[in-house]
Structure 1
Amino acid sequence: MKFVLLESRGGNYMVAIQNIAWLRTGENGQTNVGMVGGSPLLVTGSIEEVAAKVMEG
């Protein structure tokens, strides 16, 4: 199982890559990360930056 660290303004998330379902542009330069079976996470960074982190993981 591979994990990726996603930073948020309220704290950081260590997310299992296979649980990420989608990415959507959020407010103020943030990105919504859809999680399989859960609520989306609001993380810092553009959709391209978040996608690059996920692909590196």
Structure 2
Amino acid sequence: MRFVLLESRGGNYMVVADNVAYLRVGENGQTLVGMVGSQPLLVTGTPESVAQKLMAGTAEA
């Protein structure tokens, strides 16, 4: 299990990269991160930049 840090305007999240189901454009230049079995998280950055963080996190494992 590999945790990845995703920054948010309201606080940061440590998510398990394998539990991410989708990325979607959110409001104000943010990204919605859909999580398996949970509500989506609103994080800073574009879907592409969030995907890079997730891919880097899984590649290190």
Q: Which residue of 2 aligns with 1:27?
A: 27
Cα distance in structure 2, aligned partners of 1:12 and 1:28: 17
Distance between the aligned counterparts of 1:53 and 1:28, measured in 2?
Answer: 20
TM-score using structure 1 length: 0.97
Q: How large is the Cα RMSD of the aligned pairs?
A: 0.4
Q: Give the secondary structure class of the aligned counterpart of 1:11.
A: coil
2:11 aligned residue: 11
TM-score, length of structure 2 as denominator length: 0.91
Whole-angstrom distance in 1 between the partners of 2:4 and 2:26: 19
Instruction: State the Cα deviation string for residues 1-57 of structure 1 (Å, max 9, x = none).
Output: 111000000000000011100000011110000000000000000011000000000
Q: Which residue of structure 1 lines up, in the alignment, with residue 52 of structure 2?
A: 52
Structure 1 consecutive aligned stretches of length 4 or more whose deviation exceeds 2 Å: none
| Long gaps (5+) in structure 1 | none
**Which protein is richer in strand relative to its size?**
1
3-state SS of the aligned residue for 1:24? strand
Give aligned-pair identity as a percent. 72
